[in-house]
Structure 1
Amino acid sequence: MFIGQFERSIDSKNRVVLPPSFKNDLGNIFYLTISSGKKLEIRNVQEFENFVDKIDQNNQLDPNIQKYKRFILARTIKVETDKLGRFLIPENFLKAIAIKKTISFVGMGRIIEIWASENLEMQLDELENDSTIDDLAAEMLKKGYKL
């Protein structure tokens, strides 16, 4: 399970070092996806295959399913780390989420998110207000989510 937040710098060749605690559970080969919400997502091979299988369980003739699957698969690459645990983030991935030099890895259970550090800080600052997180939890309970 991936948990925690780790900040890293991107080198001049657009490489970044995977946090060691994530590398152990992730392995050397994984999938990197440009996701919605100005972030990247990392899934290990098994989790990515499960994700695609879940998409494929839907009606493939549905245009919305086709669009979503196209959106995800066209914006995903297979990545391999080097001996130092570094991997390359392609330029178009960096631009898609407005990364300048510093990124934050966020463990989200089965996946890892990558954010431009300043964008993540804005997101987290919004939640620092106690009533905001309480309102969010109340809304989730109202929709039937179990916490």
Structure 2
Amino acid sequence: MFLGQYFHSLDQKGRLTIPAKYRELLGNEVVITKGFDMNLLVMPGEVFESWANQINDQNYADPNARLLRRYLFSNGEQVEVDRTGRILIPQYLREKANLNSEIVIVGVGNFFEIWSKENWEKHKAVLDEAETDVARFIDFPLTTNRSRA
């Protein structure tokens, strides 16, 4: 599971060194795509494939399904982790997420996000607001009891 926050930097070619803990989880097949919050999503190929299958199962006649399909797939790239643990973030994706040299890597479960430091600080302020409390998440089915079938 991808957990935690890491402050890193991109080199001049747009390469990012993946934290060692994350490299093991990523494997060789990695997909990077535009996120929903002015960020990028990076995930193992099998996680992206699961998303792709769910999206492809949606009714193509539904305009929102088509929009989501175009959003994620047209902004997605398969990338390789090089022998030193880096990935190359394509220029157009760096621009979409406003990435410069200082970035933040944020674990979010079965994938991680890449944020510009500036955008992450803004988003983190929302997370830290007093209004962001348990009541906000009351409708989510969160439990520590997993039924075993």
Query: TM > 0.5 between the two?
Result: yes
SS of the aligned residue for 2:68 comes to helix
Distance change >3 Å, CA 102–CA 145, structure 1 → 2? same
Partner of 2:147: none
1:21 alignment counterpart: 21
Offset of residue 132 of structure 1? 2.0
Structure 2 Cα separation of the partners of residues 118 and 138 of structure 1 = 28
Q: Normalising to structure 1: TM-score of the pair? A: 0.91
Matches for 1:57-72 after TM superposition, within 5 Å = 57-72=57-72
Deviation, structure 1 residue 29: 2.1
Unaligned 5+ segments in structure 1 are none
- Give me the identity figure in percent: 31
Q: What letter is aligned with 2:37?
A: G
Whose helix fraction is larger, Structure 1's or Structure 2's?
Answer: 1
Which residue type is aligned with residue 124 of structure 1? Answer: K
Counterpart secondary structure, 1:123: helix
TM-score, normalization by structure 2: 0.89
Does the residue aligned with 2:132 lie in a helix, a strand or coil? helix
CA distance in 1, matches of 2:5, 2:11: 19
Pairwise CA distance, 1:88: 0.7
Alignment of 1:7-86 (within 5 A): 7-86=7-86
Query: What residue identity is the alignment partner of 2:132?
Result: I
Letter in 1 for 2:135: A
Unaligned regions of 5+ residues in structure 2, if any? 143-149
User: After TM superposition, what 4+ stretches of structure 1 lie above 4 angstroms from structure 2?
Assistant: none
CA distance in 1, matches of 2:127, 2:110: 22
SS of the residue 1:6 aligns to: strand
Instruction: State the Cα deviation string for residues 117-140 of structure 1 (Å, max 9, x = none).
Output: 1211221123323x2222xx3132
Q: How much does 1:13 deviate?
A: 1.0
Aligned-residue offset at 1:65: 0.8
Aligned to 1:132: 131
Aligned residues: 142
**1:108 maps to which residue?**
108
> Following the alignment from structure 1 to structure 2, what is the Cα–Cα distance between the partners of residues 128 and 66?
34
Q: Over the residues paired in the alignment, what is the CA RMSD in angstroms? A: 1.2
Q: In 1, Cα distance between the equivalents of 2:96 and 2:105?
A: 16
